[in-house]
Amino acid sequence: MRDVMHRLYNGPMFLDVAQLSVSYAERARPSVDRVTLGLRAGEMGVLIGPSGCGKTTLLRAVAGLERASAGEIRLAQSVVSSLTVHVAPEARRIGMVFQDYALFPHLTVHDNVSFGLHKQPRAQREARVREVLSLVGLSSSAQRYPHELSGGQQQRVALARALAPKPQLLLLDEPFSNLDVELRERLALEVRGILKEAQTTALFVTHDQMEAFAIGDVIGVMSEGRLHQWDDAYTLYHRPATRFVAEFIGHGVFTPATLREVNNQVVVHTPMGDLMDVAECPLPCTFASGECDVLLRADDIVHDDDAPVKAEIIRKSFRGSEFLYTLRLKTGETVMAHVPSHHDHKVGEWIGIRAEVDHVVTFNRACPVNGHDLCNMPCAEHEAPHESTAAPLHEQPIHFHVKPSA
C-alpha cells in the first residue's frame, strides 16, 4: 500500500506538523484532528476543502493564534506549538496575508509596506521597501493610496508588506477570494513567481481547486478536521487516497466493478465493459467476493459513435472548448465525459462511449463515504499494524495501470 504521507520523511522539513489536533470545549469533535504534514524550505503548500473543514483553523494554529490540544508544530526544527509549548505569534517570524488585504487606507503604499520595519535604520528600511515593491511590480506606485489601486494591486501591496520583514514562513488565508475569476487565476501565477523568486516557504488556504493547482508544490485535502491526502496535484487527481479526495477533486463517479482471475489474468468487469491486460493489479481476494467500486473520471470516457456501449445524455454543461456530459447507461449507472464542443448533442440523445483508462483506482464498497470516518482495506486486518509517525492511513485505494479491451 502506498503511504500517502511518504514525502514527509525524505529529508528535514522546514514546517513540520505532527499529529496536530485543535479542540474547543463546545465542540464534540476536534476542529483539526491528528493532522500531519510538512513543507521543505522554499516549498509552497496549499490546503483545500469545503467550508468548515478545519483548514483555516490549521493555518491559525501554525501562526500561533490557536493552541494545540495534541501533537506539535515545528518551525526550522524548533517546537513552536505542543501541549506544553506555545511560542507567541509575534515570536514565530511568520507573515500573514488576509483575504481583505488589511491595508491602512490613510497610508501610502510605501508607508503600508514599511509599517513593520519601524525598528530598522532608515536607510535599511527604505532599501527593503524598494526591494519588495520591485519584487511585486509596484515600484511606480509607492506614493499612491490603497483606494487608488485595483484589487490585484492592493493584494500585491499586502504581499509586499508581509514579505518586507523577511518572515521565515508566509501564511495566506484565501488571499484572492475577493477578486474576479480571471484576475484570480492570473494573480495566483504571479504570486507563485514572486514567492519562488523570494525563496519563501508558504502555506495557503483556498477553496478553489484550480487556484491550488496553480500555486501549490504540494496540496492537502481536508474534510471534517482530517487531512485525507498531502501530495502534488497530479497524484491527487490520478491517485486519490480516499473516496472523499476522489469525489472532491475533478469530475468523476464511482461505478460498481468486480475483479476476476481468468486464465491467470485479472479482469475488471465494469458497466463500460471488461478492462484487461492489467499490471500491478490486486488479486480479487483483496475485496470481498472481488466486488469493489471503480473511479471513472470524465476524461476516462471517450465519445465514440461506433462503440458498443451506449448512454443517454441526461445533463450537459458548456465549457467553451468542450461539453461536460452526464450520461446514463442502459444498466442505470451514471458516468461523466468531456466531449469536444463541436459534438453538440441534445439532452435525451443516446451516444456511443468507451473507456480509455490509463490506470484504475478502486475502493472497498464498505468504506464510509463521509469526510471524517476512515477505513482500511479488507485484507489489512490480516497484516501487522503499521507503526508510523504519519497520519493514519485512510481508506486505501488500489491503483493499477490498465488498457481497455479492444
Band (pLDDT 50/70/90 cuts) for residue 360 is confident
SS3 content of the chain, % helix, strand, coil (to 5): 25, 35, 40
Q: What is the mean pLDDT of residues 162-185?
A: 87
16-26 pLDDT, tens digit each: 999 999 999 88
The residue extents of the domains of the chain are 6-238, 251-404
Is a pLDDT exceeding 80 seen at residue 264? no
Q: Which ranges in 98-144 belong to alpha helices (H)? A: 109-114, 122-135
> Which has the closest alpha carbon to 14: 217, 227, 229?
217
CB 380 within 8 A of CB 336: no
The predicted-structure confidence for 373-405, as pLDDT tens digits, reads as follows: 554 433 333 333 333 333 343 344 544 444 444
Edge-first strand order for the sheet with 44-48 is 94-97, 169-173, 202-205, 44-48, 218-223, 226-231
- 400 near 279, Cβ under 8 Å? yes
Which CATH number applies to 6-238?
Answer: 3.40.50.300
Report yes or no: 46 and 23 within 8 Å, Cβ to Cβ. no
Residues with Cβ within 8 Å of residue 260, at least 6 apart in sequence: 266, 267, 269, 284, 290
Q: What is the distance between the alpha carbons of residues 155 and 100, in angstroms, rounded to a whole number?
A: 8
81 pLDDT band (50/70/90 cuts)? Answer: very high
DSSP helix/strand/coil, 94 = strand
What is residue 40's predicted lDDT score, i.e. its pLDDT? 96
Between CA 228 and CA 368 the distance in angstroms is 13
3-class secondary-structure state, position 53: coil
The stretches of 230-316 forming alpha helices (DSSP H) are: 233-238, 243-248
User: What does the buried/exposed string (b/e) look like for 200-213 if buried means 16 or more CB atoms within 10 Å of the residue's CB?
Assistant: bbbbbbbebbebbb
Q: Is the pLDDT of residue 154 over 80?
A: yes
What is the mean pLDDT of the segment spanning 143-172?
A: 93
Please name the residue that has the C-alpha cell 502534488.
Answer: 232
Q: Are 68 and 35 in contact (CB under 8 A)?
A: no
Q: Does the pLDDT of residue 336 top 60, yes or no?
A: yes
State pTM to two decimals. Answer: 0.83
Q: What is the pLDDT of residue 4?
A: 42
- The CB density around residue 167, as the number of other CB atoms within 10 Å, is 18
Least confident piece of the model among 66-70, 90-94, 290-294: 290-294
At 370, is the pLDDT very low, low, confident or very high (cuts 50, 70, 90)? low
Percent of the residues in the chain that have a pLDDT greater than 90, as a whole number = 58
76: left (phi > 0), else alpha (psi -120 to 50), else beta? left
The whole-angstrom separation of Cα 281 and Cα 267 is 9
Burial degree of 264 (CB within 10 A; 0-12, 13-18, 19+):
exposed
Whole-angstrom Cα distance, residue 293 to residue 273? Answer: 14
Residues 6+ apart with CB under 8 A from 7: 38, 218, 230, 231
CA distances from 146 to 16, 47, 105, 156, 402 (A): 36, 29, 6, 11, 55
**pLDDT band for position 240 (50/70/90)?**
confident
Per-residue pLDDT at 400: 46
What cell was used for 352? Answer: 456511443
Q: Do the beta carbons of residue 241 and residue 229 sit within 8 Å?
A: yes
Fold of 251-404: OB fold (Dihydrolipoamide Acetyltransferase, E2P) (2.40.50)
- Mean pLDDT (the chain, rounded): 84
Write the DSSP string, 160-211. Answer: HHHHTT--SEEEEESTTTTS-HHHHHHHHHHHHHHHHHTT--EEEE-S-HHH
Name the grid cell of 162. 508581509
